Structure 1
Amino acid sequence: MTESKGALRKAALLDAAEEVLVTKGNANAAMRDFAAAAGVRIGHLQHYFPARADLIRAVLERSLERSLTRLNEGTGLNLGAGAAAGLTRDDSRRLLTALLHEHSSLEGVKMHLEIWALAAADQQAASALRSFYAQYAAHVAGVVRRGRPGLPEPELQGVAAAIVSLFEGAAVTRSDIGGLRTEGSDEAIIRAAQWLIHGQ
């Protein structure tokens, strides 16, 4: 099935927004800069994304969707809401290894750092970022629920938030920016996350 012209235009606008965030940074993240990078008028951009926060939210949502698709395809695990119960330690190791790989893209790290910087000064961008992390944590909670089905909901949410924090922090410290990536550190991150998922 081919994508509609509107969907293709929207994707091109999101590609341009990512490019601006990665190469020029949040200082050049005004709507006119995103429009110029996409080669369109500001009115065209605002037809799809009325405000900068709408554009940032869409960039983050697409990033999460792409990551989930790659994780599903790369691990053979169904990470969706209707996934079967049960998650073996081999399953979680495969998933966590793939997730670490997802967090190894310097361009992805740069984009998220720029959005963080933008969100620090812009409440609407901060709202978009919180929405992204809420969705991310909800997916992780689904994985934890499969590993520890009897875990009470408040503890489940806490464990999911801890795993998200572990991997998001690792994305920065393991990148070329932080320089702390070693085989031993990756193994320690996976073991820590497995302990959180399986409770042992």
Structure 2
Amino acid sequence: MTESKGALRKAALLDAAEEVLVTKGNANAAMRDFAAAAGVRIGHLQHYFPTRADLIRAVLERSLERSLQRLSEEAGLDLGTRANGGLTREASRRLLKALLHEHSALEDVKMHLEIWALASSDQQAASALRSFYAQYAGHVGGVVRRGKPDLSEPELLGVAAAIVSLFEGAAVTRSDIAGLRSDAGDDAIIRTAQWLIHGD
């Protein structure tokens, strides 16, 4: 019972942190701002997340977990880093289409932009962001390995990084902020990523 209460409290704190990042656009938010949004004392927040970087890391990890769960369900694929088996072009298209859709939520784009802004001046937040992208690229690498099993590890990491960069950039440029979303553009992004995964 205590663990589930603790998990619920952590989830509520993370919800409040996301709310601050999305609605207030406060890249320089202090722990007291996050605590106030959650309606708790700062000591309560720091019991679960001792530093702002710990809180940001947890927000990013939860974001990635949610995203992987939705993508697995939509694409019908196991996206674990150790998943194996081949990957058809149709399966990769379903996955990439779902991933592009996943990168379309303006609230998520805003949250990630705020974390990027925070990380530009806070080395601990930057470390949390690098950890997030390493995990993200690891999952993408697992997908690429299924499409190109003969790639060396450095080549695999390079392709995964290129796909992450393509979709992260697309998240910003396709958002309402930049307004470059189109069916033809989405098709081109998916075809480019498929070429990276399958090579043909």
Verify the 8 A CA contact 2:28 2:118 in the aligned structure 1: no
SS in 2 for 1:138: helix
C-alpha distance in 2 between matches for 1:179 and 1:60: 25
Verify the 8 A CA contact 2:81 2:138 in the aligned structure 1: no
Gaps of 5+ in 1: none
Instruction: Select between 70-79 and 34-43 the one with higher mean Cα deviation.
Output: 70-79
Verify the 8 A CA contact 1:103 1:168 in the aligned structure 2: yes
Instruction: Select between 138-147 and 77-86 the one with higher mean Cα deviation.
Output: 77-86
Aligned to 1:45: 45
Aligned to 1:115: 115
C-alpha distance in 1 between matches for 2:84 and 2:139: 14
TM-score (norm 2): 0.97
C-alpha distance in 2 between matches for 1:67 and 1:142: 15
**Count of residues in correspondence between the two structures:** 200
TM-score (norm 1): 0.97
Aligned to 1:132: 132
SS in 2 for 1:121: coil
Q: CA deviation at 1:104?
A: 0.2
Q: What letter is aligned with 2:128? A: A
Q: Percent identity?
A: 84
Is 1:65 the counterpart of 2:65? The answer is yes
RMSD: 1.4
C-alpha distance in 2 between matches for 1:85 and 1:150: 13
Q: CA deviation at 1:45?
A: 0.1
Is 1:150 the counterpart of 2:150? The answer is yes
Verify the 8 A CA contact 1:26 1:117 in the aligned structure 2: no
Gaps of 5+ in 2: none
C-alpha distance in 1 between matches for 2:58 and 2:151: 32
Q: What letter is aligned with 1:193? A: A
Aligned to 1:192: 192
Verify the 8 A CA contact 2:119 2:129 in the aligned structure 1: yes
